[in-house]
Amino acid sequence: MDKKKKAVWGWAIYDWANSAFATTVMAGFFPIFFKNYWSSGANANESTAILGYGNSIAGLIIALSAPILGAIADKKSAKKKFLIGFAYLGILMTAALFTISKGNWAMAILIYVTGVIGWTGANIFYDSLLPSVSDKDNIDYISCLGYSCGYLAGGLLFLINVLWALYPEWFGFADKAQAVRFSFLSVAVWWGGFSVFTIIWVPEKKLDRPPSGSDSFIRQGFDELRGTLKDFKHLKTVFLFLLAYWFYIDGVDTFIRMAVDYGLSIGFSDTDLIIALLLVQFVAFPAALGYGKLGMAWGVRKSIFLGIFLYMGITVWGTLMTQKYEFYMLAVSIGLVQGGIQALSRSYYSRLIPKSKAAQYYGFYNMLGKFAVIIGPALMATVGLIARRILMPSSPTPEQMEYVGQLASRWSIGSLLILFVIGGILLYFVDEEKGKAEAEYLENQS
């Protein structure tokens, strides 16, 4: 395999490595274990709120630090070093979940939030390496390849973890709880092991004369952020796209992080939810590649619009579903669009920015992407708690409490429709040709 292909596969393999955390931990077992094991005794809306706010806090920390860390990594040619540092922070925290005792929800959420910070922080520098392993002719395909590898790998390990949890005695575990705890360890080993290929195969061009002094890096990070903001007066199309992206990707990310918790809150069993997650993974594997081909043939912007429209339908359907088969069909629908809308948004952005400042602008893109995960979970948590307070009778029976709790959860997931509607409206006004002209103008001025 030549160096160019190694670089592409080394980059894509990191998605293979870290998607185990997204699937087994974030989307799969942590929400279930947090609600039924670490938060046993709390009502469903309270545990949902704690998990929602935890995800929002992790997103806020990364969003605030992303542009500065990205600028420092750029100036020091240290994208890979930052990727490795954040990744192994996440890996260590994932392994630490194994040690937390039943009922210790505070420690569980603290370790989880730190792990999410490691995972999302590493993704900033992973995404910023995309331009270094691709060109304008294959960037859409390589972006989709990464997501496709991630969905396949996440699904394979999650399938193994699910079998452990469903049949613990077959694998020598004492019970389901022990099997889930060992699943967290397996994610840490998988993520850490496959990341080695990224470390070895993905190149990073070194600066000829890097600036000296750690203080100068931090100062230059802030200067670069100010420079990017100043450029937006010439790059109105980029600004508009980022605003649209901020809203619709928030809805997508919130579905990924909160769907299992929502399913538990409205009465579906652990097994139903796990099967649905597996469907998402294995449908999304070929669908991400197919969505990339659709983008190349039909147009990237149109394909993103299709994804937003489908997510709006998924959100409405999610508030109304009552049957198990509906949840499975919903999972298939999500799998068809989830990876595609993520991958094509990442590559579409590259068409609108000055090529000489690609790393700088991808840092800002990632900053907004991490800010996006703040609004959705917090919106769900707040709407759910308010709805519960409004709808709950003064002296409810157990049956009334259960009914109102499920209704409040349906209101909470329905609130995500706002994000997709706003994102779609803003994207409608994004003009790709105008964006290219603005970027070319800024290139000529620099």
Decide if 116 contacts 58 (C-beta within 8 A). yes
If we measure between CA atoms, which residue out of 233, 237, 230 comes closest to residue 426? 237
- Confidence label for 297 from pLDDT (cuts 50, 70 and 90): confident
What was the pLDDT predicted at 79?
Answer: 80
Decide if 69 contacts 120 (C-beta within 8 A). no
CATH architecture of 3-204+216-445: Up-down Bundle (1.20)
What was the pLDDT predicted at 181?
Answer: 93
If we measure between CA atoms, which residue out of 55, 149, 68 comes closest to residue 360? 68
Decide if 360 contacts 307 (C-beta within 8 A). no
Query: Distance between CA 376 and CA 259 in Å, rounded?
Result: 12
Decide if 94 contacts 25 (C-beta within 8 A). yes
Q: What are the tens digits of pLDDT across the range 199-234?
A: 999 987 765 555 555 455 567 666 766 776 777 777
Q: Which amino acid is residue 123, in one-letter code? A: N
Lowest mean pLDDT across 89-98, 232-241, 292-301, 367-376: 367-376
Task: Say if residue 36's pLDDT is above 90.
Answer: no
Lowest mean pLDDT across 35-49, 133-147, 227-241, 415-429: 35-49
Query: Distance between CA 31 and CA 51 in Å, rounded?
Result: 8
Decide if 221 contacts 72 (C-beta within 8 A). yes
The residue with greater pLDDT, 363 or 231, is 231
What was the pLDDT predicted at 446?
Answer: 61
Q: Which residue has the tokens 């790059």?
A: 235
All structural domains of the chain with their residue ranges: 3-204+216-445
Half-sphere exposure of 31 (CA within 13 A, CB side): 33
Supply the DSSP string of 174-201, one letter for each residue. SSHHHHHHHHHHHHHHHHHHHHHHHHHH
The residue with greater pLDDT, 19 or 441, is 19
Query: Distance between CA 299 and CA 318 in Å, rounded?
Result: 29
- Confidence label for 356 from pLDDT (cuts 50, 70 and 90): low
Q: Please report, for residues 56, 137, 156, 271, 416, the alpha-carbon distance to residue 376 in angstroms, rounded to integers and kept in the order given.
A: 8, 34, 28, 26, 7
What was the pLDDT predicted at 49?
Answer: 75
Supply the DSSP string of 361-396, one letter for each residue. HHHHHHHHHHHHHHHHHHHHHHHHHHHHHHHS-SS-
Q: Please report, for residues 131, 145, 301, 335, the alpha-carbon distance to residue 139 in angstroms, rounded to integers and kept in the order given.
A: 7, 10, 15, 22
If we measure between CA atoms, which residue out of 263, 212, 227 comes closest to residue 70? 227
Query: Distance between CA 360 and CA 425 in Å, rounded?
Result: 27
Q: What is the mean pLDDT of residues 106-129?
A: 87
Task: Say if residue 68's pLDDT is above 80.
Answer: no
- Confidence label for 429 from pLDDT (cuts 50, 70 and 90): very high
> Tokens standing for 80?
């890979």
If we measure between CA atoms, which residue out of 110, 91, 60 comes closest to residue 186? 91
Query: Distance between CA 385 and CA 331 in Å, rounded?
Result: 26
Query: Distance between CA 43 and CA 126 in Å, rounded?
Result: 38
Q: Which residue has the tokens 């603005």?
A: 438
Determine the distance from the C-alpha atom of residue 284 to the mean position of all C-alpha atoms in its chain, rounded to a whole number.
14
Sign of CA dihedral 125, 131, 133, 139: positive
> Tokens standing for 101?
């005792």
Query: Distance between CA 120 and CA 60 in Å, rounded?
Result: 11
Task: Say if residue 62's pLDDT is above 60.
Answer: yes
Decide if 226 contacts 352 (C-beta within 8 A). no
Lowest mean pLDDT across 78-82, 160-164, 306-310, 343-347: 78-82
Decide if 116 contacts 245 (C-beta within 8 A). no
- Residues in CB range of 119: below 8 A, 6 or more apart: 18, 21, 22, 26, 86, 87, 90
Query: Distance between CA 380 and CA 385 in Å, rounded?
Result: 9
